[in-house]
Amino acid sequence: MSAIEEKQPALTREHEMPKPHQTNGSDFSDAENDPRAESRLVRKLDLIIFPTFFVIYMMSFLDRINISNARIQGMVEDLDLTGNKFNIALFTYYISYILLEVPSNMVIKRFSPFLVPVDSDVLLGHYQYAGVLPGIIYVTSMYYKRHEYQKRMSFFFCSTVVAGAFGGLLAYAISKLGGQHRLAAWRWIFIIEGAITSTFAIFAAFLIIDWPEQTKYLTAEEKELLRRRLAADIVETCRMDVLNKASFQRIISDCKIWLGALIYMGVGVPGLSGTFFLPTILLEFNWKAQEAQVRTIPVYVLAGGTMVIGAWASDKLRHRFSFFVAGTSMVTIGYGMLLAQEGKSRDYKFGAVFLVFGGAYMCYAHGACMASE
């Protein structure tokens, strides 16, 4: 037994209740559990776990991409974000969500008018994004078997689809407030969407789930059934809720963690690149700003469809690799078409955008589930 394994109990010393992903010295199988009780438990888990997280991440994603909608509502002209200035501001805006606020603001002050509407978003984003997605994936994976998990994660990631589609529609409506109280339309986008997120955060604090053995939503019998069914699915201890020397060593030495991070980065870069610039891309297809906002909706609808269908088929077949390859191939073809768009029709270019988003969103849940396992 390795030194890390010998120290493993220290990783969960604050939670000595039965652990959902640990066999506790016994072997369990699905045959030992009542299928009807399991079915009722899973349905209950679906109702108590994902609705709150769905809305949390929908608002989180909406706040993250609203800069793309603000860009085509006059922000670039008002702030003179020409050339690479917008890209620098975008980089600062996004990196602040995962690093820290002060250095980001120092860079943002280079474009001082940009600071006022975004600064509160930066402060919110720093705490909102750095841990929200890893935390959601980690906690929810404690409740489901591996072949049950991806379709649920795809449902969860549909929150980004709703945010993208609803964000364009909301931005279209908010843009009509331009000039009210001497504020431009793009400023109203930040103000209103940020206020909605902040309000919901207050209620969400009382609704989100805890660890399986600590949650108030399950009875003692349901907690035991949950432990037994997960013990039959995964026989190794994978829970780490204390960051000490042993857990840190385990993190840096586990190649699956680094591979999962690499996979998700590969999925995220082309996907988020399209997300941040979708309204701008459509604007360059010679649609007006309001028309471009509305035409983001069918793109996200298709993305949601490929995500859900791919996840359902993947869980059904208990196979992920081929679906992941299919999604990345769609993205590659779509970007290839956009690179060769000169002289092509608008329908051709719009079709390429559908391929990019359909493929990228199919891969999101696959990447997250592969990393979580």
Structure confidence by residue, pLDDT tens digits, 197-232: 888 888 888 888 888 888 888 999 999 999 888 887
Helix %, strand %, coil % of the chain (to 5): 75, 0, 25
The region of weakest confidence among 19-23, 168-172, 281-285 is: 19-23
Span 46-75, average pLDDT: 85
Mean pLDDT of 64-68: 79
Q: Which range has the worst mean pLDDT, 38-47, 53-62, 242-251, 280-289?
A: 242-251
For residue range 228-272, list pLDDT tens digits in order: 888 877 654 555 556 678 777 877 888 877 887 788 778 777 777
Q: Which of 121-125, 164-168, 354-358 has the highest mean pLDDT?
A: 354-358
Task: Return the beta strands (E) in the chain as ranges.
Answer: none
pLDDT digits (tens, 9 = 90+) for 71-110: 888 888 888 887 788 777 777 766 655 544 333 333 333 3
329, two tokens: 């191939």
Q: Decide if pLDDT at 114 tops 80.
A: no
pLDDT exceeds 50 at position 146: yes
Domain limits, the chain: 17-372
Q: Which of 21-30, 228-237, 291-300 has the highest mean pLDDT?
A: 291-300
Would you state the structure tokens that stand for residue 262, as one six-digit string? 């690499």
Which run of H or of E encompasses 324? helix 321-339
Burial bucket for residue 164 (CB in 10 Å: 0-12, 13-18, 19+): buried
Distance between CA 59 and CA 32 in Å, rounded?
41
Query: Quick one: pLDDT at residue 312?
Result: 84
Gap between the Cα atoms of 362 and 136, Å rounded: 19
Q: Which CATH architecture has domain 17-372?
A: Up-down Bundle (1.20)
- pLDDT score of 350: 94
Please give the C-alpha separations between residue 67 and each of 60, 109, 163, in angstroms, as whole numbers: 13, 17, 13
Kindly state the average pLDDT of the residues 20-42. 64
Nearest CA among 155, 188, 154 for reference residue 170: 188
- What is the band of 145 on the pLDDT scale with cuts at 50, 70, 90? confident
pLDDT confidence band for 3 (50 / 70 / 90)? very low
